[in-house]
């Protein structure tokens, strides 16, 4: 017996309630037969002019609608919170969970049978997936796609990665401000997300590797007609998924998360994937822990894209995209169901590498082991992470004296001081930038190199914080220290001059201070007063989990698939 359509409770009843639901929708010109019981598909759109990465989503929404109509469904587009990583203060990450709440409650409240998630900019994809997973209606992702390669003076430049390099060159006196400003105009040449392997492209790649999007979703440029065609195909497929009752819980299994971890290593993906995967896993009840990130430890770096390599996402697309990567990973992939109904292995069938310098074969990788590493010790008892593929090899085994910035404001005020008492061996430590402390855990972990060292030619130092860093960034940066300083973690106790040892080979981050001294410091420690005392920010600070748990809100973990039975009329 066929499962009744969820939308029938809104649009199928021949009473006052059905009359109200149908008649108000008809003011948009929908005819009677649109309410004949066909699947109603929500198109969850994060389009916004304040989210430049997502500025092309209106076009994709129209393509999805064409596909839905063609497959016999009824498409309805609705907006949700849009998070512009480059535009929002204090950080878009503060609002990821708000987006997830918005998506969850919209899907639950409206009379839809399935949903297409249109996102792109860093936090929109995980936020949408978290919300959809918590309701567990059939769902599929279409990403906005990357911008075209940046161009400046005859060469390709990449958002984020080259920005950091150019900025340091200006500070070092090696690049003029005029040239810096000229490069700005050539950086962002089309709609789309960062064209480097930043967090947005990483998450687009991972939802493809998890089977939550159609093949080639990750890399096709935002303005490529093939992405519009992909959106059309997605509209067709979501109608079929509703007929099959194929839900996120069928796809987002432990195996799917493990495939995402393997893929993240192979593409040189963002460290931000860690908090997002942990948060999504919490929504679907998959027991994924921080240490599981090391499942990708020995996977080689196959994608030669910035910041871990030299090419950009447009090149990655033309070289074969994620299907070619999954083909190389075939022996490592776990059997896992996808939105196409079959196994993830089908995504790799017939896939080829068309440029072996952009996508390397397993036999000739960019780097032999590229997975993110988890570090633990008395400085991070609940863990911290580091991205070896974007780090300086010599600094992955390092001991040195700490120079501590208690706040981001202190860092900004002091980092360019000529008398700052630091050397290349110094370990820069930044506090107060975790989920509660900032709040929202901003991308400031890749602290600038002190100006006097930049002028001396130094381009990397060991840096440690409870913050995140942009997926487009590079350097030897220990991130996501848990517990964070504001929550009373040992990071709060570090003082300038303390010695710190990091050994990535041993998975260790250690504060070389006597335990009795740390106990004495702890007795005198007090958290900073809260930055926010009202609204969503207060709700966030009161309920946010630590980074090792995905920084979700404690009351949002899990899902609620109960039907809505109460009428509003």
Q: Render pLDDT for 7-36 as a digit per residue (tens, 0 to 9).
A: 999 999 999 999 999 999 999 999 999 999
530: confidence class by pLDDT, cuts 50, 70, 90: confident
Tell me, what's the pLDDT at 202? 97
* Cβ proximity of 360 and 286 under 8 Å: no
Its pTM stands at 0.96
Say what percent of the chain tops pLDDT 90.
91
Report pLDDT digits (tens) over 500-529.
Answer: 999 999 999 999 999 999 999 999 999 999
Q: Rounded to whole angstroms, how far apart are CA atoms 137 and 284?
A: 12
Tell me, what's the pLDDT at 224? 98
Average pLDDT, integer, range 193-215: 97
Answer whether residue 37 shows pLDDT above 70. Answer: yes
Mean of the per-residue pLDDT values for the chain?
A: 96
Angle 314-319-325 from CA coordinates, rounded to 5°: 105
Tell me, what's the pLDDT at 458? 95
Angle 69-72-73 from CA coordinates, rounded to 5°: 70
**Count of CB atoms within 10 A of residue 62's CB?**
16
Comparing CA positions, the residue from 214, 69, 71 lying closest to residue 145 is 214
Helix pair 96-109, 124-135: axis angle to 10 deg: 40
Q: Which residue has the tokens 């009824």?
A: 74
* Stretch among 171-180, 206-215, 248-257, 288-297 having the lowest mean pLDDT: 171-180
Answer whether residue 468 shows pLDDT above 80. Answer: yes
Tell me, what's the pLDDT at 164? 81
Please give the structure tokens belonging to residue 324: 């070619």
Answer whether residue 371 shows pLDDT above 80. Answer: yes
Tell me, what's the pLDDT at 1? 58
Report pLDDT digits (tens) over 327-343.
Answer: 999 999 999 999 999 99
Average pLDDT, integer, range 235-251: 98
Tell me, what's the pLDDT at 207? 98
Answer whether residue 241 shows pLDDT above 80. Answer: yes
Tell me, what's the pLDDT at 216? 98
Angle 110-112-117 from CA coordinates, rounded to 5°: 95
Average pLDDT, integer, range 47-58: 96
- For the chain, the 3-state helix, strand and coil shares in percent, each to the nearest 5, are 40, 15, 45
Tell me, what's the pLDDT at 263? 98
Please give the structure tokens belonging to residue 149: 């390669």
566: confidence class by pLDDT, cuts 50, 70, 90: confident
Average pLDDT, integer, range 161-183: 89
Answer whether residue 54 shows pLDDT above 90. Answer: yes
Domain ranges of the chain: 1-35, 156-186, 373-528
CATH superfamily membership of 373-528 = IlvD/EDD C-terminal domain-like (3.50.30.80)
Q: Which residue has the higher pLDDT, 521 or 181?
A: 521
Average pLDDT, integer, range 148-163: 91
Q: Strands, E, within 273-420: which ranges?
A: 373-377, 380-386, 397-405
Report pLDDT digits (tens) over 62-82.
Answer: 999 999 999 999 999 999 999
Answer whether residue 271 shows pLDDT above 80. Answer: yes
Report pLDDT digits (tens) over 444-463.
Answer: 999 999 999 999 999 999 99
* Cβ proximity of 503 and 492 under 8 Å: no
Average pLDDT, integer, range 321-330: 98
Answer whether residue 189 shows pLDDT above 70. Answer: yes
State the first-to-last Cα distance of the chain, in angstroms, to the nearest integer: 31
**Count of CB atoms within 10 A of residue 353's CB?**
18
Report the DSSP beta bridge partners of residue 427: 402
Report pLDDT digits (tens) over 275-317.
Answer: 999 999 999 999 999 999 999 999 999 999 999 999 999 999 9
Q: Which residue has the tokens 């969820």?
A: 6
Give CB contacts under 8 A, 24+ apart, made by 533-537: 536/95, 536/98, 537/94, 537/439
Answer whether residue 469 shows pLDDT above 70. Answer: yes
């Amino acid at each position: 017996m066929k499962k009744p359509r969820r939308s029938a409770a809104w649009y199928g009843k021949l009473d006052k309630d059905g009359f109200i639901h149908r008649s108000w929708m008809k003011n948009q010109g929908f005819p009677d037969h649109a309410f004949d019981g066909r699947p109603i598909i929500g198109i969850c759109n994060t389009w916004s002019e304040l989210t430049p990465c997502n500025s092309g989503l209106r076009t994709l929404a129209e393509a999805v609608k064409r596909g839905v109509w063609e497959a016999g469904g009824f498409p309805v587009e609705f907006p949700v919170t849009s998070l512009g990583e480059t535009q929002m203060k204090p950080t878009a990450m503060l609002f990821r969970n708000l987006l997830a709440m918005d998506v969850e409650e919209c899907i639950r409240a409206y009379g839809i049978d399935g949903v297409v998630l249109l996102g792109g900019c860093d936090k929109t994809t995980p936020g949408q997936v978290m919300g959809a997973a918590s309701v567990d209606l059939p769902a599929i992702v279409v990403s906005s796609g990357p911008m075209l390669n940046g161009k400046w003076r005859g060469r390709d430049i990449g958002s984020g990665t080259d920005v950091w390099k150019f900025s340091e060159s200006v500070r070092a006196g090696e690049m003029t401000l005029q040239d810096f400003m000229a490069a700005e105009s050539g950086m962002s040449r089309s709609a789309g997300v960062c064209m480097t392997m930043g967090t947005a492209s990483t998450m687009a790649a991972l939802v493809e590797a998890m089977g939550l999007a159609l093949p080639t979703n990750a890399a096709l440029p935002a303005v490529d007609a093939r992405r519009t065609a992909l959106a059309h195909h997605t509209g067709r497929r979501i109608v079929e998924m509703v007929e099959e009752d194929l839900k996120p819980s069928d796809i987002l299994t432990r195996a799917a998360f493990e495939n995402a971890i393997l893929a993240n290593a192979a593409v040189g993906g963002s460290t931000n994937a860690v908090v997002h995967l942990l948060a999504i896993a919490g929504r679907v009840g998959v027991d994924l822990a921080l240490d599981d990130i090391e499942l990708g430890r020995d996977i080689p770096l196959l994608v030669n894209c910035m910041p871990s390599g030299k090419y950009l996402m447009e090149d990655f697309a033309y070289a074969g995209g994620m299907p070619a990567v999954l083909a190389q990973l075939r022996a490592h992939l776990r059997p896992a169901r996808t939105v196409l109904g079959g196994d993830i292995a089908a995504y790799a069938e017939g896939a080829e590498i068309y440029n072996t310098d952009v996508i390397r074969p397993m036999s000739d990788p960019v780097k032999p082991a590229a997975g993110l590493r988890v570090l633990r010790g008395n400085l991070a008892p609940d863990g911290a992470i580091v991205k070896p593929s974007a780090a300086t090899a010599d600094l992955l085994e390092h001991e040195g004296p700490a120079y501590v910035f208690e706040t981001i404001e202190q860092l900004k005020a002091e980092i360019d001081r000529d008398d700052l008492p630091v050397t290349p061996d110094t370990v820069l430590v930044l506090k107060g930038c975790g989920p509660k402390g900032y709040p929202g855990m901003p991308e400031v972990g890749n602290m600038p190199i002190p100006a006097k060292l930049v002028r001396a030619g130094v381009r990397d130092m060991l840096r440690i914080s409870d913050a995140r860093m942009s997926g487009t960034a590079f350097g030897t940066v220990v991130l996501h220290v848990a517990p964070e300083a504001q929550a009373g973690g040992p990071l709060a106790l570090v003082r300038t001059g303390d010695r710190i040892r990091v050994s990535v080979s041993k998975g260790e981050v250690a504060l070389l201070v006597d335990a009795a001294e740390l106990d004495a410091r702890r007795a005198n420690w007090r958290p900073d007063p809260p930055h926010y005392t009202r609204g969503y920010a207060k709700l966030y600070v009161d309920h946010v989990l630590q980074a090792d748990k995905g920084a979700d809100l404690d009351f949002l973990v899990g899902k609620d698939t109960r039907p809505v039975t109460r009428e509003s009329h």
